[in-house]
Structure 1
Amino acid sequence: MATSMQLRREILAGGRDAALAALYGADPAVLARQRQRYADALEQFERYFGPGRQVHIYSAPGRAELGGNHTDHQHGYGLAAAVMLDLIAVASPSDDGFIRVKSRGFNKLDVIDLSEAEPQDGESTHSASLIRGIAEGFRARDRAVNGFDAYTASDVLRGSGLSSSAAFEMGMAVILNGEYGCGLPTPELAKICQYAENTYFGKPSGLLDQLTSAVGGVIFADFADPAQPDIEKIHAAGLLPEGMSLCVTDTRGSHSELTGEFAAIRNEMEAVASQLGAKVLGQVQEANFWAALPRLRTVCGDRAVLRAAHYFEENARALVQRDALRAGDFPVFLKAIAASGHASYTLCQNVYCSTDVRHQGLSVALALSQTLLEHSGGAWRMQGGGFAGTIQAFVPQRLVQTYHDAMEGVFGKGSCYILRLREQGAVRVI
């Protein structure tokens, strides 16, 4: 274990290039950027927590949802891929019972007193609640953890649909797991993070985002038993055929005020399930849903009914996508991507907020993508929880520059990313 100053010197001199290349690839320009990024994070750690501390550096990736939009929390299927955009955390353990975290771009230093185990008044929806909940998740599994000091720097766009929250959560979890030798497998860390997000942060999320950040690669998950989901890892290297790129455009709309909108999707789906004698839609036979449609419309309302229909349609589509990836049938996979995007508009209705119709960044991005990519062999869809954030597009190489420039012309410089997929999940890098 080296000091922050020693690591900074080694990284800038290229002495840790092998570790960086394993995550980000060996392109010289990419390595140069990551060297500087890691060195800057180490310097900021010293600024807030002092020089001479022995540290480790951890990384947790963001994710691109590929299929199963709002199906995981209903015990359905999910499909997602880890991406190169990640959160890195410089961390050093402490024995004073406090966790202190400073995150780049946020003015506040989170300070969590681990003697206060329960959710704290006024802390929900803030990062401190996630950290507290994750620490308690370890303790609930009889793992002895203590404090740490950490500085984080994230390239995962906040509020973008690439799940910056899951990357942050997994970053905190791998620090505790690594610094205190807890030995928990990464899927178990994902469950701890979901628990913290549900119980302490107050967002009723599913588990797919955390699992993808934890495990890496392309993940297909069956959440029929959410306590023990059946996980299949499909290697990311085989996803994109030659000549096709995955582009993500940040429409510069934040998810930070949308927890209620996300919660409504889950609540309405579960209201329908309740009328059919179940807790979640994954426990309902689709035929029984359609047979009860007249009654469900009256009792639950049409939006809830449409969102339930979305669940059944999207869940079946996730299976089609998985099978297409297994078989290397990319055209079938792309057809399902396009169908998923259409369902978000018409059934799930999570492309924009009905209470703020003047702001429809996702709708504009999707319309522009259709104009640019129709008849090109590409596909486009909203991704993530919805209402704001990002869209994704599979773009033929001959159109990547045109697509990139057009999207940035509308949403601003730096809004369109050409993503690379990542095999590794959350991990200690150095």
Structure 2
Amino acid sequence: MTGHSRHDLLRQGTEYFTREFGVEPDGLWSAPGRVNVIGEHTDYNDGFAFPIAIDKRTVVAARARGDRILRVVSNGFPGVVETSLDDLNPDSLAGWSAYPLGVAWAMAQAAPAGDPTGVDLALSSDVPPGAGLSSSAAVECAVAMALNDLWKLGLGRQTLARIGQLAENRVVGAPTGIMDQSASLLGEPDHGILLDCQSLHTESVPLGFAAADMGLLVIDTRTSHSHADGGYASRRRSCEDGAQAMGVGSLRALGPGDLPRAADVLDGQTFRRVRHIITENSRVLDTVAALRTAGPAAIGAFLNESHMSMRDDFEISTPELDLAVSAAQALGALGARMTGGGFGGAAIALVRSSDADRVADGIAREFARAGFSVPHIFPVSASAGARREL
């Protein structure tokens, strides 16, 4: 994010808070959305993922109160949602405010005996919602950073990631893993985060995109998806069923050498689901190895293979996502794949910077030719994780 746009976002965040609540905030905190470069649906299978934090952020302006009241507003939704810390429970929260208030609930569980005070929160964001860029984790992580400071909890970033995941699982009801929150909290410029979802160990890996004059294009198909509905949950169940039938605690325990036995033991659909996870874990590790030894141009084939696996084995792609990927490849992208939970959302394409505009224009033309709605196509760069801004 440029200094100019960051300044604008902070000024807008402060002005929004002051307009809504009539006082200045105590501070501003921000957290980025994320793009998963590779490693889809591996996180809840104790596998590997490789996301980046992106240069689109959610800003939270916040002020501690002298009572137990929580008030939250968002520039994306009308009205003020108000509740009390004493009334916070996962079953009483719904709608957009379940994300910030779910974090407040989870943080209050982690708070020591000195009861936390109420807080006023104002959220503003330029992370496109519903695009598979984890606008929800950006909200969760920005709010977690703010409450961690205002309540003086001193929690580390790994713990804050788990709190965000708990809020999403228990309060929102989406059975997601920990990847999105980890990316939002741990990102670094021009680095990806290799996340081992079993040990929760993370490693920052240089991308080398800037030096190679390459970047990622996001192709937001503007077709909606929601993790809390059936498709995501049914894929998760298939993976759990597959692990159980194979006699392992999670699919992480299986490698490519186990695929012949899996083909014998599992029904056709469960086998395909399991094959995606096993091969996707290998692709994540291959991608990181290629970045370290050969540079970013070498990872394109893994992106292409990942998309085929999600399309054919995991069956989470859509006609719009398939067209975004095939058009990008035909226009000279080094690699392309859908990203995020699937059933809509966005694809990414690895392109040479000099080709970005031409590739974007060509994809838009193909969408028009197919009669699809106009995609939102924009470059992203790997960015810093959540932080206090003011």
1:343-387: CA deviations, max 9, x gaps?
Answer: 1111111103xxxxxxx32122223223322xx6x1111001111
Partner residue, 1:40 = 12
Q: Does 1:366 align with 2:337?
A: no
Q: Is the 8 A contact 1:112 1:128 kept in 2?
A: no
Of 129, 136, 139, 1:168 maps to: 139
Aligned length: 380
1:259-291: CA deviations, max 9, x gaps?
Answer: 321111111111111112334212346544531
* CA distance in 2: counterparts of 1:295 and 1:414, whole angstroms: 42
Partner residue, 1:3 = none
Q: Does 1:62 align with 2:22?
A: no
Other structure's SS at 1:336 match: helix
Structure 1 pair 105/408, CA: closer, same or farther in 2 (3 Å)? farther
Structure 1 pair 38/224, CA: closer, same or farther in 2 (3 Å)? closer
Q: Does 1:307 align with 2:278?
A: no
* CA distance in 1: counterparts of 2:338 and 2:258, whole angstroms: 29
Q: Does 1:393 align with 2:349?
A: yes
Other structure's SS at 2:78 match: coil
Partner residue, 1:281 = 251
Other structure's SS at 2:154 match: coil
Partner residue, 2:266 = 296
Partner residue, 1:421 = 382
Structure 1 pair 146/277, CA: closer, same or farther in 2 (3 Å)? farther
Aligned residue identity for 1:419:
V
* CA distance in 1: counterparts of 2:275 and 2:379, whole angstroms: 33
Q: Does 1:324 align with 2:290?
A: yes
Structure 1 alignment gaps of length 5 or more? 1-23, 353-359
Partner residue, 1:219 = 193
* Percent pairwise identity: 29
Partner residue, 2:242 = 272
Q: Is the 8 A contact 2:29 2:145 kept in 1?
A: yes
Q: Is the 8 A contact 1:145 1:176 kept in 2?
A: no
Of 359, 363, 383, 1:407 maps to: 363
TM-score norm. by structure 2 comes to 0.91
Please, which moves more after superposition, 186-195 or 129-138? 129-138
Aligned residue identity for 1:41:
G
Aligned residue identity for 1:389:
G
Task: Please list, as runs of the form range in 1=range in 2, the aligned pairs for 1:231-250 lying within 5 A after superposition.
Answer: 231-235=202-206, 238-250=208-220
Q: Is the 8 A contact 1:138 1:145 kept in 2?
A: no
Question: Could you tell me how far 1:408 is from its partner in structure 2?
Answer: 4.0
* CA distance in 1: counterparts of 2:124 and 2:359, whole angstroms: 29
Partner residue, 1:17 = none
* CA distance in 2: counterparts of 1:66 and 1:110, whole angstroms: 35
Structure 1 pair 256/311, CA: closer, same or farther in 2 (3 Å)? closer
Q: Is the 8 A contact 1:82 1:425 kept in 2?
A: yes
Question: Could you tell me how far 1:418 is from its partner in structure 2?
Answer: 1.1
Partner residue, 2:108 = 139
Other structure's SS at 1:120 match: helix
Q: Does 1:98 align with 2:69?
A: yes
* CA distance in 1: counterparts of 2:359 and 2:184, whole angstroms: 28
Aligned residue identity for 2:17:
F
* CA distance in 1: counterparts of 2:66 and 2:257, whole angstroms: 57
* CA distance in 2: counterparts of 1:414 and 1:155, whole angstroms: 17
Partner residue, 1:357 = none
Structure 1 pair 289/108, CA: closer, same or farther in 2 (3 Å)? farther
Other structure's SS at 1:91 match: strand
* CA distance in 2: counterparts of 1:403 and 1:248, whole angstroms: 11
* CA distance in 2: counterparts of 1:54 and 1:37, whole angstroms: 14
Aligned residue identity for 1:129:
A
Please, which moves more after superposition, 146-155 or 81-90? 146-155
* CA distance in 2: counterparts of 1:81 and 1:344, whole angstroms: 20
Aligned residue identity for 1:305:
F
* CA distance in 2: counterparts of 1:390 and 1:128, whole angstroms: 24
Structure 1 pair 100/235, CA: closer, same or farther in 2 (3 Å)? farther
Other structure's SS at 1:404 match: helix
Instruction: Give me the CA root mean square deviation.
Output: 2.1
Q: Is the 8 A contact 1:110 1:127 kept in 2?
A: no
Of 149, 157, 162, 1:186 maps to: 157
* CA distance in 2: counterparts of 1:398 and 1:25, whole angstroms: 20
